[in-house]
Structure 1
Amino acid sequence: MIHGEMELAAPLRWGMVGGGRGSQIGYIHRSAALRDANFQLVAGAFDIDPVAGRDFGVRLGVAPERCHDSYHALFEAEARRPDGIQAVSIATPNGTHFEICKAALEAGLHVVCEKPLCFTTAEALELQALAQARGRVLGVTYGYAGHQLIEEARARIAAGELGEIRIVQMQFAHGFHCAPAERESAATRWRVDPKMAGPSYVLGDIGTHPLYLSEVMLPGLEIDELLCSRQSFVPGRAPLEDNAFTIMKYTSGAVGYVWSCAVNAGSMHGQKIRVIGSRASLEWWDEQPNQLRLEVQGEPVRILERGMGYLDAAARAEDRIGGGHPEGLFEAWSNLYRRFALAMDATDRGDAARLASLRYPDVHAGVHGVRWVERCVQSADQGGVWVRWRD
């Protein structure tokens, strides 16, 4: 169980790009990073408006001279300081991720970036190569991957409780954009603008989340080919989609399905993953994150509760409060940021063994997500045809 004690010799000096006043995701990043005292927020370029960004940073407790006008100024100024930042989180619109990630890595910083890392597999591979060459951690915020019951699902699947894996059913299908919310919301507007969102809307924005959960639960499952159909139901969003269906064939013979949707009217969040084997199935839903549903053929349904002693040790290690109390998004994100901090520290100390023992959504996960979106768009734009994963 985690009790909030700092696990590093000293907190990592941390900065942010984006995530300014009014940014929901910026608040989530800060709440997660600062919870266990493994990071200390000391600098940032919080807003495209320098005045607003400086005012906001000061309100967060950052010294005025370390609230910078741009990410360029941030990286340059901090590099000159003996106490400059060691890590940076990027919470900006998608179209800026590649250039900021690249600049941060070139500045010798560890990076935590919102997904997607970039728009093309070629760009993602460039970032991967740069992170490896500079010996830096590049993490991606697939937030709910930090929830303990994802670890429990992984352990039970690895133990063979489900039998041969046949079907993986995934969805992230909410209803909040079933009307043109972008007319009133700037945060929604850029998500449906190809210049800022890239080649997709819901595939890249939400579909990659359950996809990464499947990677954690089923680390040996490899995509062979996929087929995607995407639609734009709300006028004005084309060529970007607000709904998409993706079918995948895995090299093992199993099949997978991802429903990515922002127009599922009435649905609050709708992120679920169900893994179906020859003997049993597991299901997890982020609106009820403290329960993992285990269904063995011919037996009563079992609801496995977070925080209980019958769970795998890996699923109990990151509990923050006792069983029965709810843990959700903030705790899952905090667990990810804890792992990011431990990985950054191990990298800086050259502790290869410790680094190898840590699992978090790293640059490889980022590349995988970008490749998936790219292949989905390729399939859909050709009329919904099967495309090879590695072509």
Structure 2
Amino acid sequence: MIQGDLKVTAPIRWAMVGGGRGSQIGYSHRCAALRDNSFQLVAGAFDIDPERGREFGESLRVAPERCYPDYQTLFAEEARREDGIQAVSIATPNSTHFAICKAALEAGLHVVCEKPLCFSVDEAEELRALAQERRRIVGVTYGYAGHQLIRQAREMIANGDLGEIRMIHMQFAHGFHSEAVEQANPGTRWRVDPRYAGPSYVLGDLATHPYYIAEMMLPELRIKRLLCSRQSFVASRAPLEDNAYVLMEYEGGAMGHLWTSAVNAGSMHGQKVRVIGSRASVEWWDEHPNQLRYEVQGEPVRILERGMDYLYPQAREDDRIGAGHPEGLFEAWSNLYYRFALAMEAMDRGDTTAVEALGIPDIDAGVEGVRWVENCVRSADAGAVWVDYA
């Protein structure tokens, strides 16, 4: 199924807000967007320091006159050009996402935004209404969701290979912030400051990734109520948590559990999703993303490998190289970005059916991520009590 052909009609003229020199996430966006020639980076407001941003933009071969001091100037000036931008990616601290995303939509641009979209469900719903009104795509970079075997798990569940779904166990628990590393690292410091990070740290920054992957595997599952307990083991991070546990009861009786942590000492990444059915289970671990563990009760464990003919066709749509060659995070991001580009093209021609078929983490996924965090914080702050999901 490896084609190697271009997937979009023409590269989408694209800009970035944030993601300047030294930004790991900015580099991830550019690698993903440019890999399949789906986007062309033509403009940007790359840094809060205009001169530093201009110098960095020029190093990326962006014309100096299109390296702008801020996003307001970027959107206004590009709107005056016949070859102005069609889309923008937002790679800035959380506290700025809502304002930039709203301004981009009002300027008629498609958007790819880092999560969270914003800090409250009210703001998220405002962005969704605006995106629908302007008929623009808002993609959210749940980058791990681009790994192919997540689609295999989705198809297995939908086909009934696991039987009736009973439990979903999710985790994203690394150990790199077991000490107060933010004291010497500005890139971490804002993530533990509620003024910039919002109402949560690991719930919003880490947990929403496996939560979305589970949503992708089980799109029909709906939370009925949840209970969240969160802790600040590094005391200076309070009121934001660096560890949390969430129990979820789904409509229909299935149960979910999510553990998220930045203080799981010794763990490299620790992101896993395990779905347990009445006859079998599947487990995906992002440190081994090319394998899916498939366990049928009473039978030997099977390890399903990326790119193999025995997988469902949907799990092979994004093959870039033959089975046995490992693919990683940049490939996963690239799979999302080319789908974002196809969604933008489809929306521009009014083909909403094609948009829905692409299965991207879109504005609805962004709204749901904000809603989930808001409910978790509400439960935790009330004393770790069950709350109806609202």
2:55 alignment partner in structure 1: 55
Shift of 1:206: 0.5
- Distance, in Å, in 1 between the alignment partners of 2:321 and 2:206 is 28
1:22 aligns with 2:29: no
Q: Residue 228 of structure 1 contacts residue 244 of structure 1 at CA under 8 Å; is this kept in 2?
A: yes
- For 1:107-126, what aligned pairs fall within 5 Å after superposition? 107-126=107-126
SS at match of 1:336: helix
Give CA deviations for 1:229-287 in whole Å, capped at 9, x if unaligned: 00000121000000000000000100001111000000001100000011000000000
Shift of 1:328: 1.3
SS at match of 2:237: coil
- Distance, in Å, in 1 between the alignment partners of 2:351 and 2:372 is 32
Q: Given the two structures, how large is their TM-score scaled by the length of structure 2?
A: 0.99
2:344 alignment partner in structure 1: 344
- Distance, in Å, in 2 between the alignment partners of 1:7 and 1:302 is 33
- Distance, in Å, in 1 between the alignment partners of 2:375 and 2:3 is 42
Residue identity matched to 1:192: V
- Distance, in Å, in 2 between the alignment partners of 1:170 and 1:235 is 25
Q: Given the two structures, how large is their TM-score scaled by the length of structure 1?
A: 0.99
Shift of 1:352: 2.9
1:291 aligns with 2:291: yes
1:7 alignment partner in structure 2: 7
1:102 alignment partner in structure 2: 102
The unaligned stretches of length 5 or more in structure 2 are none
2:86 alignment partner in structure 1: 86
Give CA deviations for 1:178-236 in whole Å, capped at 9, x if unaligned: 01110111110000000000000000000000000001100110000000000000121
2:195 alignment partner in structure 1: 195
Shift of 1:153: 0.2
- For 1:1-391, what aligned pairs fall within 5 Å after superposition? 1-390=1-390
- Distance, in Å, in 2 between the alignment partners of 1:76 and 1:90 is 16
Shift of 1:2: 4.9
- Distance, in Å, in 1 between the alignment partners of 2:264 and 2:343 is 38
Give CA deviations for 1:317-341 in whole Å, capped at 9, x if unaligned: 1011110011010000000001100
Runs (4 or more) in structure 1 with deviation over 6 Å come to none
Give CA deviations for 1:76-115 in whole Å, capped at 9, x if unaligned: 0000100000000000000000000000000000000000
- Distance, in Å, in 1 between the alignment partners of 2:202 and 2:356 is 32
SS at match of 1:166: strand
Residue identity matched to 2:196: M
- Distance, in Å, in 2 between the alignment partners of 1:291 and 1:9 is 33
Q: Residue 245 of structure 1 contacts residue 260 of structure 1 at CA under 8 Å; is this kept in 2?
A: yes
Residue identity matched to 2:137: V
Shift of 1:351: 2.1
Q: Residue 162 of structure 1 contacts residue 277 of structure 1 at CA under 8 Å; is this kept in 2?
A: yes
Residue identity matched to 1:82: E
Residue identity matched to 1:92: T
The unaligned stretches of length 5 or more in structure 1 are none
The answer to which of 355-364 and 328-337 deviates more is 355-364
SS at match of 2:236: coil
- Distance, in Å, in 2 between the alignment partners of 1:61 and 1:139 is 25
- Distance, in Å, in 1 between the alignment partners of 2:182 and 2:376 is 24
The sequence identity of aligned pairs, in percent, is 71
Shift of 1:4: 4.3
- Distance, in Å, in 2 between the alignment partners of 1:132 and 1:176 is 39
Q: Residue 228 of structure 1 contacts residue 246 of structure 1 at CA under 8 Å; is this kept in 2?
A: yes
Count of aligned residue pairs for this structure pair: 390
Q: Residue 4 of structure 1 contacts residue 35 of structure 1 at CA under 8 Å; is this kept in 2?
A: no
SS at match of 1:21: coil
Shift of 1:36: 0.3
Shift of 1:9: 2.1
Shift of 1:356: 2.7
- Distance, in Å, in 1 between the alignment partners of 2:174 and 2:91 is 22
- Distance, in Å, in 1 between the alignment partners of 2:182 and 2:171 is 23
Q: Residue 4 of structure 1 contacts residue 37 of structure 1 at CA under 8 Å; is this kept in 2?
A: no
Q: Residue 98 of structure 1 contacts residue 117 of structure 1 at CA under 8 Å; is this kept in 2?
A: yes
SS at match of 1:374: helix
Residue identity matched to 1:159: N
Q: Residue 5 of structure 1 contacts residue 37 of structure 1 at CA under 8 Å; is this kept in 2?
A: no
Residue identity matched to 2:221: L
SS at match of 1:339: helix
Shift of 1:3: 4.5
- Distance, in Å, in 2 between the alignment partners of 1:4 and 1:84 is 28
SS at match of 1:236: helix
Give CA deviations for 1:13-59 in whole Å, capped at 9, x if unaligned: 00000000000000000000000001000000000011110000000
Question: Alpha carbons of 1:239 and 1:157: their partners in 2 closer, same or farther (altered >3 Å)?
Answer: same
- Distance, in Å, in 2 between the alignment partners of 1:5 and 1:94 is 36
